[in-house]
Structure 1
Amino acid sequence: MKKWVLVLLGAVLLLSGCNRNEPINEHSQGIWNHYFVYPMSKLLLTLGHWFGDNYGIAIIVLTLIVRFCLLPLILKQFRASLAMQKLRPELLKLQEKYKSKDPETQRKLQQEMMQLYQKHGVNPASGCLPVLIQMPIFMALYYAISRTQEIKTHSFLWVELGHRDPYFILPVLAALTTFISLRLSPSMAEEQMPQMAMMLYIMPVMIFIGASSVPSALSLYWVVGGCFSIIQSLILRSQLKAAKAAENS
């Protein structure tokens, strides 16, 4: 549950543009700007020039490149989550066995949990590292799109990239792809579904509100990321189904 709360907070922060919004260039100061945002902006400008100053296509291509590059981390996180789910029944038994809250009992609980992890070759922290690596990259791409001035003067399909979508098509698509990708997420265990029901509906609403208040370039980025997440979730679900079939055979 905490993971999805963090995702929601991250999405709200990104789409609300709660950061410095001055133009990004080679003279921008600070480690974040120099090593994260500006390189993304430079890639975006290069792709834009390659595609005849079509920055809509540049945003789509760069977003897909970043998502494909991060796919191995997603798979690593998924496998770690799957391994933890398999251990969940045994972990619950240990927690029931050592349910007393005194320090000595809790120390024994931690010891047996670590032994269980070692026995099955599971690192409980391995699922967190991919998230920590992904977030700065996603944020750098987001702010590169937001702060690259050349984008704001170009159009793509029916929208001016520097202005909001007048027909709200991109915000609706952003919310819809977010809902579908969350609903299909293989990391959402069935027993968590009642707890996740509210998040499942609140997050798309927040995405819609955010995407309706930012330039279309950012809404386009969110839609492309959402579409990629849907395909990614379908692939992971098929892998999960295959793993369960192999386990039961």
Structure 2
Amino acid sequence: MEKKYSKWLKIAIMLSVILFLTACGSSGAETSGDGFWSTYIIANLSRVLLWLSGLFGNNYAMGIIVFTIIIRLLLFPLNKMQANSTRKMQEIQPELDAIKEKYPNKDRASMEAMQAEQQALMEARGVNQFAGCLPMLIQLPVMIALYNSITSTQEIQQGNFFWTNLGQVDPYFILPVIAAALTFANSYFTMKANPVKNSATTAMTYVMPAMILFISVGLPSAVTLYWVISNTITLAQTFLFNNPYKIIAEREAKVEAEKERQRELRRALKRATKKKK
């Protein structure tokens, strides 16, 4: 059940990004006000971006790239926890599905009993409910602050990244496509190691990239660049923590080891039976 709710929560977070960024876009001039958000968050983030960019000769794209790397380094413990939670969830998914099959009826009592049994299993196996959403929840205000910083900092708006202006949308939609492709790769390789495939997981593999593409085509290139670098790091972490090919190989090795153990037991039983005769 955690997996199902986690996916819907991620969709809700992405929709929140759309709403927040749309609201910010319609009031970009207000970011220079005297409120706490503008004075302490946006202003200081702009200073950090300008300082990082200054280290590279006022290369604002490099400033954003380094800023993204710093944010992801700070989130490293949470991302590791997310990866561990995903791995544990994948391993117990067949057991969760078996519990679900025990309760074919959809009445309230059956559903409550099923959820209680699944929750007990997750607690026993150390699966942290909703842990997979924590990094995304934290990155949401970062993205909103980044958007506001860009729209309120003229230097960044006038910066360039190869073919595109950082303060404007990518005219060729290359960065949004890359961001969506990286999101698809992350979803694909994460789900590849899942021993249970269903329509929900398959749909999410395509829904999330489509949402990323839909959102990013209307964002300044600086924000989309942040997304591209962040997703690239996420993909690297996927292979670092939850390499699907390594997981599949380990799972197949366990199955083969169990088969060999069963064969050895049968051989031992045959030898014992012959001795009795």
Task: Give me the TM-score of the superposition, normalised by structure 1.
Answer: 0.75
Query: What residue in structure 1 maps to residue 29 of structure 2?
Result: 22
**Higher RCO, Cα 8 Å, sep 6+:** 1
Task: Give me the TM-score of the superposition, normalised by structure 2.
Answer: 0.69
Query: What residue in structure 2 maps to residue 69 of structure 1?
Result: 74
Matched residues in 2 for 1:108 and 1:208: separation?
40
Matched residues in 2 for 1:106 and 1:220: separation?
44
How far did residue 72 of structure 1 move? 1.7
Q: Aligned-pair RMSD on alpha carbons?
A: 3.5
Question: Does structure 2 retain, via aligned residues, the 8 Å contact 1:23–1:148?
Answer: no
Greater shift in the superposed pair: 150-159 or 99-108:
99-108
Greater shift in the superposed pair: 212-221 or 42-51:
212-221
Query: What residue in structure 1 maps to residue 175 of structure 2?
Result: 170
Secondary structure of 1:64 counterpart? helix
Aligned residues with identical type, % of pairs: 35
Query: What residue in structure 2 maps to residue 9 of structure 1?
Result: 15
The letter for the 2-side match of 1:75 is: K
Query: What residue in structure 2 maps to residue 40 of structure 1?
Result: 45
Question: Does structure 2 retain, via aligned residues, the 8 Å contact 1:155–1:161?
Answer: yes
The letter for the 2-side match of 1:213 is: G
Q: How does 1:1-249 map to 2 (within 5 A)?
A: 1-6=7-12, 8-10=14-16, 12-13=18-19, 17-19=22-24, 20-22=27-29, 24=31, 28-30=34-36, 32-34=37-39, 36-100=41-105, 108-186=113-191, 189=194, 191-192=196-197, 194-201=199-206, 203-238=208-243, 241-242=246-247, 245=250, 248=254
Secondary structure of 2:243 counterpart? helix
Secondary structure of 2:29 counterpart? coil
Matched residues in 1 for 2:52 and 2:129: separation?
39
The letter for the 1-side match of 2:174 is: I
Matched residues in 2 for 1:105 and 1:168: separation?
49
For structure 1, list consecutive stretches of 5 or more residues without a partner in the other structure: none
The letter for the 2-side match of 1:2 is: W
For structure 2, list consecutive stretches of 5 or more residues without a partner in the other structure: 1-6, 258-277
Question: Does structure 1 retain, via aligned residues, the 8 Å contact 2:59–2:159?
Answer: yes
The letter for the 2-side match of 1:217 is: A
How far did residue 33 of structure 1 move? 3.9
* Change beyond 3 A, Cα 1:17–1:154: same
The letter for the 2-side match of 1:123 is: N
Matched residues in 2 for 1:106 and 1:210: separation?
36
How far did residue 59 of structure 1 move? 0.8
* Change beyond 3 A, Cα 1:84–1:242: closer
What per-residue deviation string (whole Å, max 9, x for no partner) do you get for residues 105-150 of structure 1? 5555455444433433333344444443343334333433343332
How far did residue 61 of structure 1 move? 0.7
Matched residues in 2 for 1:198 and 1:119: separation?
29
The letter for the 1-side match of 2:70 is: I
The letter for the 2-side match of 1:159 is: T
How far did residue 94 of structure 1 move? 3.2
How far did residue 73 of structure 1 move? 0.8
How far did residue 201 of structure 1 move? 4.2
Matched residues in 1 for 2:53 and 2:30: separation?
17
Question: Does structure 1 retain, via aligned residues, the 8 Å contact 2:91–2:194?
Answer: no
